[in-house]
Amino acid sequence: MFIPRILSNASFSIANIGVQICGDEWTATPEYDALVDTEWKKMLIGAKHPIWDGTYYRVLNVAEMETGAAAGIMQLGIIRYRYIATFPALHAEHSRCHLDPLYHLSTIALIRTLDGHYLFGKRARNGQVDCIGGGVQRDEMVVSCGADIERNLYKEMNEEIGIGNGDVVAILGIGVLLSGTSNVLIVGHVRIGLSKADAASRFDRRTENEMAELVFVPADGLRAFLQSMDDYRNLIPNLLENCV
């Protein structure tokens, strides 16, 4: 696994991110592909629902982003989901084969209500409390500019918790993180024009059942709540100063 870290700790407009689409697709060695195929078949046998095997966008210039040399440009290739899904089980083999990090792209949101609460969700499949957001998938949305990446964040909020575009007052990018699986996460701070009670009523409008219920965290307890979480999530408090 990789060590989670901050790639960028600065505020920015997600919609104004420059995007360069490249023809690069993440590929593995035949040896690793055979391992992935075996692990993927195990996942299919144990799955209660069909497992999607489409393509994610993948960030190609992570090193430049981390040093500040990317100049607001994100270079994107693609990667198949099966590599992402099987990585936790195969990370030792991934390292032994000296393969490139996956660097699959996601957007996540810290969502603040009018009355000072932040929205998280409890995942239906395992009960884990998590941020709202998800992967930027080429099969669902063709990305050509930063506005498309921001649109992915709107889409995830609508699908997971029923928050509509018209409920959003403002979105600000507050940083970019790398997770333990090498997931590149654009973190957005979202202010909505809804109270805690209004947001709870929106939850029934969600279009996917990935989240079983909403979890509300008071603003004055947000930092401690995030610090208690795992992986990249406990790095988010380092970005909170950018919310102002």
CATH at residue 217: 3.90.79.10
What pLDDT, on a 0 to 100 scale, did the predictor assign at position 222?
A: 97
Pick the residue with more confidence: 26 or 70? 26
pLDDT for res 213: 95
| Strand-by-strand arrangement of the 55-59 sheet | 18-25, 73-80, 55-59
8 A C-beta contact, residue 107 and residue 188: yes
The total domain count for the chain is 1
Query: With 80 as the cut, is the pLDDT of residue 49 above it?
Result: no
Mean pLDDT (whole number) for 68-92: 95
pLDDT at 142: 95
Is residue 99 within a helix (H) or strand (E), and if so which, with residue range? none
| 67 burial via Cβ count (<10 Å: 0-12, 13-18, 19+) | exposed
Mean pLDDT over the full length of the chain: 95
Question: d(Cα 59, Cα 79) in Å, to the nearest integer?
Answer: 10
Spatial contact of 87 and 58, defined as CB atoms under 8 Å apart: no
* Domain hosting residue 30, numbered range: 5-243
CA distance 78 to 59: 8
Examine the pLDDT at 47 and tell me if it is beyond 80: no
DSSP E strands in 15-167: the ranges are: 18-25, 55-59, 73-80, 105-112, 117-123, 129-130, 132-135
